[in-house]
């Protein structure tokens, strides 16, 4: 076992004055205990006991360039010396808005805020104002944030809880949530166009917006079936409901132009977060000009920290690096990610373990299951989560840090040598299980 004494001491201390010892409930899943980190560089993260990790958590998604990319550090340092926040306008926010609108097909106009949850909340309000309707359609296994009308059916555990297909019941995700929080939410299985079509025939005239991750990343990595997103697009247009792509994970990760660029389907509205500022707290919502025109003329959206110049300087540098040579860095990330996926599969086969890996490289998912493919959220129920937790613990003990649920993020800083060392660790861990 690696020595994590100092982390354990800090963990004990933290629980006295920091609620549950962490700043986000998601981090409570970490085993053997939440670790404390001192610094990160490139693909590597270092804990307070001096242990080094190849980091595939990537701060739960943002670190598309890895830790402390020199161009980003320089841009942020330059801006810090010029002031921390102005509560007023500045040139970098104009530049970043222009760059994002040039890169993301659906975005004519954007607004900046601080988290993906907030940005999705703003879009729900905007869609309701634009359409004069109240219902939001969402999909089982997708995560859109932790707010009352968002944390619904993101991770139901059984059919008993979630109800029978094709029309599940909404499942609330938190104690203290308003009992009627899901009153305006309609939940569907993802990748089932027939169910969507039937629901919209019945309810379309009440549906303000349909929100989807264009690639399911939270409930396992699942690509849309051919025609599924196109079907959502057509039916939303027919019913005059707005289609929202939640690209908080996939934006600037799946591709320079987002999953919408990769898959060739353009929504009405989009949320970006995570990778857009490589670790600085920025989210973006935006879309068609005629919808976004309502922001500032009737639809309230505010925030003391919105458009913070340090965060925007980070986004500006991140976007410059990512868009260099027409996004050439994505080819490199995809190639390293593909090597990693192939390596995990080979190591599992050699160890006689049934491990399924799905992904596109920059983001991938691994499960312990006999299934040959995962195509719906409910397929996750046939996978062994407890075994994965043991595997993840064994990996971290060998210097490979991954997300406990099974998701892995590959960044521009990861190399083939990182992959080689990772696959070695994966092989050793699996042989012990
Ligand atoms: C797809 C998606 N949407 C929204 C969110 C919420 O973003 P945030 O944690 O910044 O509030 C997340 C967070 O992981 C996400 O994965």
Residue 215 and residue 235 share a domain:
yes
For 405-415, what is the mean pLDDT? 97
Give me the active site residues, please: 143, 246, 274
Q: Provide the pLDDT for residue 1.
A: 79
Contact at 8 Å (CB) between 415 and 43? yes
- Give the pLDDT confidence of 172-184 residue by residue, as tens digits: 999 999 989 999 9
Look up the pTM and report it. 0.97
Last residue of a domain, one of 276, 295, 325: 325
The pair of three-digit structure tokens given for residue 245, joined into one six-digit string: 């792509």
The pLDDT of residue 230 is above 80: yes
* Whole-number average pLDDT of the chain: 97
For 282-286, what is the mean pLDDT? 98
Q: Whose CA is nearest to atom 9 of ligand 1?
A: 116
The pLDDT of residue 162 is above 80: yes
- Give the pLDDT confidence of 353-389 residue by residue, as tens digits: 999 999 999 999 999 999 999 999 999 999 999 999 9
Quick one: which atom of ligand 1 is closest to the CA of 213? 1
Q: Provide the pLDDT for residue 31.
A: 76
With a pLDDT cut of 70, the percent of the chain lying above it is 100
Alpha-carbon span 205 to 5, nearest angstrom: 59
Testing ligand 1's pocket by substitution, the residue of 61, 116, 270, 303 carrying the most ligand atoms inside 8 A of its CB is 116
Residue 174 and residue 94 share a domain:
yes
Residue 321 and residue 190 share a domain:
yes
Contact at 8 Å (CB) between 414 and 368? no
pLDDT grade for 229, boundaries at 50, 70 and 90: very high
Residue 170 and residue 92 share a domain:
yes
Q: Provide the pLDDT for residue 377.
A: 97
pLDDT grade for 325, boundaries at 50, 70 and 90: very high
Q: Provide the pLDDT for residue 32.
A: 77
Residue 244 and residue 104 share a domain:
yes
Testing ligand 1's pocket by substitution, the residue of 117, 211, 284, 305 carrying the most ligand atoms inside 8 A of its CB is 117
Any ligand 1 atom below 6 A from CB of 257 = no
Total domains in the chain come to: 2
Residue 196 and residue 345 share a domain:
no
Residue 371 and residue 290 share a domain:
no
Q: Provide the pLDDT for residue 392.
A: 96
Contact at 8 Å (CB) between 337 and 364? yes
Last residue of a domain, one of 300, 325, 350: 325
Residue 421 and residue 315 share a domain:
no
Q: Provide the pLDDT for residue 29.
A: 85
Residue 236 and residue 198 share a domain:
yes
CA 132 to chain centre: 29
CA distances from 238 to 162, 205, 233, 234, 243 (A): 29, 10, 9, 6, 11
Any ligand 1 atom below 6 A from CB of 145 = yes
Residue 166 and residue 241 share a domain:
yes
The pLDDT of residue 11 is above 80: yes
Q: Provide the pLDDT for residue 74.
A: 98
Residue 165 and residue 265 share a domain:
yes
Residue 426 and residue 373 share a domain:
yes
Q: Provide the pLDDT for residue 33.
A: 81
Residue 360 sits in a domain whose CATH number is: 3.90.1150.10
The pLDDT of residue 207 is above 80: yes
For 68-86, what is the mean pLDDT? 97
Last residue of a domain, one of 273, 297, 325: 325
Residue 186 sits in a domain whose CATH number is: 3.40.640.10
The pLDDT of residue 333 is above 80: yes
Domain that holds residue 115: 70-325
């Amino acid at each position: 076992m690696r020595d994590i004494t100092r982390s354990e001491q800090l963990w004990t201390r933290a629980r006295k004055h920091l609620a549950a010892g962490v700043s986000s409930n998601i981090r409570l899943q970490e085993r053997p205990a939440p670790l404390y980190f001192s610094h990160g560089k490139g693909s590597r993260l270092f804990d307070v006991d001096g242990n080094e990790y190849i980091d595939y958590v990537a701060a739960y998604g943002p670190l598309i360039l890895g830790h402390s990319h020199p161009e980003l550090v320089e841009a942020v340092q330059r801006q810090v010396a010029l002031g921390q926040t102005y509560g007023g306008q500045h040139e970098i926010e104009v530049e970043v808005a222009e760059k994002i609108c040039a890169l993301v097909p659906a975005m004519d106009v954007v607004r900046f805020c601080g988290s993906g949850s907030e940005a999705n909340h703003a879009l729900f309000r905007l869609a309701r104002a634009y359409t004069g309707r109240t219902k939001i359609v969402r999909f089982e296994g997708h995560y859109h944030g932790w707010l009352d009308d968002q944390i619904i059916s993101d991770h139901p555990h059984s059919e008993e809880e979630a109800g029978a297909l094709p029309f599940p019941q909404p499942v609330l995700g938190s104690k203290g949530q308003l009992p009627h929080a899901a009153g305006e939410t309609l939940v569907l299985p993802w990748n089932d166009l027939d169910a969507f079509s039937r629901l919209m025939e019945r309810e379309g005239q009440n549906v303000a917006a349909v929100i989807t991750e264009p690639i399911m990343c939270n409930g396992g990595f699942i690509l849309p079936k051919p025609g599924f997103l196109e079907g959502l697009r057509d039916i939303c247009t027919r019913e005059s409901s707005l289609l929202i792509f939640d690209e908080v994970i996939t934006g600037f990760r799946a591709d320079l132009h987002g999953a919408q660029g990769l898959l060739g389907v353009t929504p009405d509205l989009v949320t970006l977060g995570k990778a857009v500022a490589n670790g600085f707290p920025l989210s973006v919502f935006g879309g068609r000009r005629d919808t976004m025109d309502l922001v500032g003329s009737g639809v309230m959206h505010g925030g003391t920290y919105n458009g913070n110049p340090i965060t925007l300087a980070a986004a500006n540098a991140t976007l410059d690096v990512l868009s260099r040579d027409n996004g050439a860095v994505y080819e490199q990330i995809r190639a390293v990610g593909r090597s990693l996926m192939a390596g995990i599969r080979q190591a599992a086969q050699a160890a006689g373990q049934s491990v399924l890996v799905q992904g596109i490289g920059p983001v991938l998912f691994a499960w312990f299951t006999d299934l040959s493919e995962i195509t719906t959220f409910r397929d996750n129920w046939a996978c062994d989560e407890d075994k994965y937790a043991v595997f993840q613990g064994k990996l971290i003990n060998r210097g490979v840090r991954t997300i406990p649920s099974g998701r892995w993020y590959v960044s521009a800083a990861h190399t083939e040598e990182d992959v080689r060392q990772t696959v070695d660790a994966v092989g050793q861990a699996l042989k012990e299980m």
